[in-house]
Amino acid sequence: MTDIATRVDQAAEAGGEAAVVFLRDLIRLQAGGEEAVQARVAAALEDLGCIVETRRYQPASIVLREEFASETAMATEERAAVIARFPGSGGGRSVIFFAHPDGEAFQPQHGWLHDPMAGEIDNGRIHGWGVADDLAGIATMVEALRAVRAAGLMPKGDVILTSTPSKRHARGVHALLHGGITADAAVYLHPAESGIGMREVKALASGQLVFRIVVKGRLPATQEPGHAAFAHTAINPIDKAMSVLAALKALDARRGARVHHPALDAAVGRSTNLLVGDFKTLGDGRAARIAPAVQLSCALSFPPGEKLADVQAEVEAALAEAVAADADLMLETSFLSGVTGAEVPMDHPLWIETCEAVRRGTGTLPEINPMHTSSDIRNPMVQSGIPCVGLGPLCGDLTQNGGRDEWVDVADYRRGVAVVAALIAGWCGAD
């Protein structure tokens, strides 16, 4: 196995410049839309000897386990996922690699210093729209298989590489998992947002429930444009929203004291949190008028082991208790999306093989990042019971976080190709 690993490392190093060229190609092709990117990925995988198909699907038609999204949060247009199977020689374990080709919607007034569609390299970083979210993940899987083949190796287990849309609950990997694609393990390839790069592995993803509360008020019985003199006759939804905030804060405190997960507690001292991320009145903003309603947008994180339905019921019960205590409190609650958490234990063979591949590629054993709530690593585990980890190179200034000039570290991307190639050889076995 040592000889095989050395050959893989040498092949990945020799193909490093070509791997960068391929990633730059994907960045440039975005100008032609997602279909152009997918066509290039499919062609590259066919050249490597894969059996390739493009599967079209409707996101809303995919029936999920322990997950939901409202129509307003979900992509509605037909999407296409690329599936490439490299058949193994036999006797090895199979693996699914997945990453997403779709990034944030392009904004012409982006304010970047670099051309977002050029793949410019500056100070060791490759810049491009969606390069870190998630074109680098797509390129890594293709180039890793290329390195394995360039090393003259044949994986024993099947290697399945998939380019699956993800943004706005596009459900690409879900469509494949529920469409019959299966394997002994899965790996989600996505650059590391935490700033650690290839030295970390995602092996735990918390679940998340996103919901919206509209607190209704009652206007005073007057046609006067100003309401200040009549305020005592109205129901001000801002006042009532304070009661709702207090109920949510009390729920958060109860859950924080009761719900624990050792990895999350060790990382940040809490295993669950309820965040009110946005608070706004649904009026015209004038100081002398009662707003008709107030809107609270909330997200609740919860660890693996808790059921999504149980968490949602707990929120509903807390809000019902607040309404029962105040006859003038009028609420409308909408649950926008929910996903369930999952994890891979540190004694699992997938974690052990991934650790060894990272150690070879970086010189150090990886850290677990337990803080990426609702990470896509959950999907194979929750939907199909397939163990899954996630990893990727150093990146920064992500567009989805409001950043500019999104980038991926070139050296760490090349290391990522070597790590994934080593993981293929180690997990699947190789002749």
Report, as an integer, the average pLDDT of 175-180: 96
pLDDT tens per residue across span 375-399 = 999 999 999 999 999 999 999 999 9
**Strand, helix or coil at 182?**
coil
Question: Do 93 and 160 sit in the same domain of this protein?
Answer: yes
| Better-scored residue on pLDDT, 203 or 77 | 203
Tokens of 418: 């070597």
> Which of the four pLDDT bands, split at 50, 70 and 90, describes residue 320?
very high
Residue at a domain's end among 280, 313, 339: 339
Q: Select from 350, 381, 417 the least CA-distant residue to 143.
A: 417
Contact 213, 419 (CB under 8 A): no
86 DSSP β-pair partners? 159
Report, as an integer, the average pLDDT of 131-156: 97
**Residue-level pLDDT at 1:** 61
Say which residues have a Cβ less than 8 Å from residue 266's Cβ, sequence separation at least 6.
none
The yes-or-no verdict on residue 93 having pLDDT over 90 is: yes
Task: Check residue 134 and report its DSSP letter.
Answer: I
Report, as an integer, the average pLDDT of 38-63: 96
Helices (H), 15-163: 16-29, 34-47, 136-150
> Which of the four pLDDT bands, split at 50, 70 and 90, describes residue 192?
confident
- Distance in angstroms (rounded) separating the CA atoms of residues 198 and 188: 13
Question: Do 300 and 349 sit in the same domain of this protein?
Answer: no
Total domains present in the chain:
2
Question: Do 424 and 363 sit in the same domain of this protein?
Answer: yes
Question: Do 170 and 214 sit in the same domain of this protein?
Answer: no
Report, as an integer, the average pLDDT of 268-284: 97
Cis omega (within 30 of 0) on the bond before 347?
no
Among 133-137, 190-194, 229-233, 310-314, the least confident range: 190-194
pLDDT tens per residue across span 238-264 = 999 999 999 999 999 999 999 999 999
Q: Select from 424, 368, 350, 414 the least CA-distant residue to 14.
A: 414
Question: Do 84 and 144 sit in the same domain of this protein?
Answer: yes
Report, as an integer, the average pLDDT of 320-324: 98
Per-residue CA distances from 285 to 282, 290, 291, 298 (Å): 8, 9, 8, 22
Residue at a domain's end among 291, 309, 339: 339
Say which residues have a Cβ less than 8 Å from residue 254's Cβ, sequence separation at least 6.
none
Question: Do 148 and 266 sit in the same domain of this protein?
Answer: no
Question: Do 103 and 19 sit in the same domain of this protein?
Answer: yes
Question: Do 118 and 248 sit in the same domain of this protein?
Answer: no
The yes-or-no verdict on residue 164 having pLDDT over 70 is: yes
Contact 207, 341 (CB under 8 A): yes
**Residue-level pLDDT at 214:** 98
Q: Is the pTM of this model over 0.85?
A: yes
Quote the domain boundaries for residue 70. 2-205+342-428
Question: Do 366 and 383 sit in the same domain of this protein?
Answer: yes
- Distance in angstroms (rounded) separating the CA atoms of residues 38 and 114: 24
**Residue-level pLDDT at 194:** 84
**Residue-level pLDDT at 97:** 98
Q: Select from 210, 207, 193 the least CA-distant residue to 369.
A: 193
**Residue-level pLDDT at 44:** 98
Question: Do 185 and 61 sit in the same domain of this protein?
Answer: yes
| Better-scored residue on pLDDT, 83 or 3 | 83
> Which of the four pLDDT bands, split at 50, 70 and 90, describes residue 195?
confident
Residue at a domain's end among 295, 310, 339: 339
> Which of the four pLDDT bands, split at 50, 70 and 90, describes residue 74?
confident
Question: Do 268 and 331 sit in the same domain of this protein?
Answer: yes
CATH number of residue 350's parent domain: 3.40.630.10
- Distance in angstroms (rounded) separating the CA atoms of residues 314 and 302: 12
Question: Please, what is the average pLDDT of the chain?
Answer: 96
State percent of the chain over pLDDT 70.
Answer: 100
Question: Do 247 and 188 sit in the same domain of this protein?
Answer: no
Contact 422, 414 (CB under 8 A): no
Report, as an integer, the average pLDDT of 344-373: 95
